[in-house]
Amino acid sequence: MEKLSLISADLIHHDCWTIRTEKYLVNVKLLSQQFTNEKYFISKVLVLGKDSRGLINELRNFKKVKITKLDHLDKDSFVIDFLYPRHNSVSSLFYDTNSIVISHRIVDGIEKWKIITDSSLVNHVLERLEKTANLISFKEINIKKLGKLLDKLNDRSLSFLKIAYKQGLFDYPKRKTLLSLSKELGIKPNTLLYHIRKSESSLLEILIDEYYDLL
């Protein structure tokens, strides 16, 4: 049985369409990819943000990108299908190494990848990325730590956090006070605060350690 590694890689690829996102207030998320031949692949991405139209207009004029389908979700949200060359692309590298893409987000020109790959290929992937792009970070994620964090995030504490959020405890100004919410729930204020803080702490650990895309 082959051993697999979960890798997080942040990079800037100056020769790619992704660098153009640095000029726009947008978030881009990869939805799917199809490698149909040796020269090109098809990407489907979700583009969110007030500058979505500006980015799309620039991609239309970028000779490497051929938009084949554009779906409008709302005024600032689009799903785009486009054809892109495989040569020197990060996507093609991951495809060629049989890596599984868990997530790919693009913000401010930075590509944020999470992949699963054969542990024996980690150094090879690292070397290829260093030749292809400006690598900001590359690290193996400790999946056991995620399990421990999830164990700390129990259902009861998380349910109280959700209720507090929906009732407006975190709004400014607050729509609900801790005391009034605790009375409605029939528990002591200190007990409610304990559960809220416990869930907040666990969620922050997950976010800071970049595990959120795996959940």
* pLDDT tens string 19-75: 999 999 999 999 999 998 999 999 999 999 999 999 999 999 999 999 999 999 988
Question: Tokens for 57?
Answer: 């207009």
Opening angle at CA 92, ends 88 and 94, nearest 5? 120
Report the C-alpha gap between 38 and 136 in whole angstroms: 28
Q: Considering only CA atoms, which of 212, 27, 2 is closest in space to residue 114?
A: 212
Q: What are the start and end residues of each CATH 1.10.10 domain in the chain? A: 145-214
Report the C-alpha gap between 41 and 90 in whole angstroms: 12
| pLDDT tens profile 117-167 | 999 999 999 999 999 999 999 998 877 777 777 777 778 888 988 999 999
CATH number of 145-214: 1.10.10
What is the DSSP code (8-state) at residue 127?
Answer: H
Question: Tokens for 170?
Answer: 């975190």
93 contacts: CB under 8 Å, gap ≥ 6: 125, 128, 129, 132
**Per-residue pLDDT, 153:** 76
**Per-residue pLDDT, 209:** 67
Report the C-alpha gap between 196 and 165 in whole angstroms: 10
144 contacts: CB under 8 Å, gap ≥ 6: none
Please report which confidence band the pLDDT of residue 211 belongs to, taking 50, 70 and 90 as the band edges: low
Is the dihedral angle over the CA atoms 46, 50, 53, 56 positive or is it negative?
negative
- Cβ–Cβ contacts within 10 Å for residue 91, how many? 20
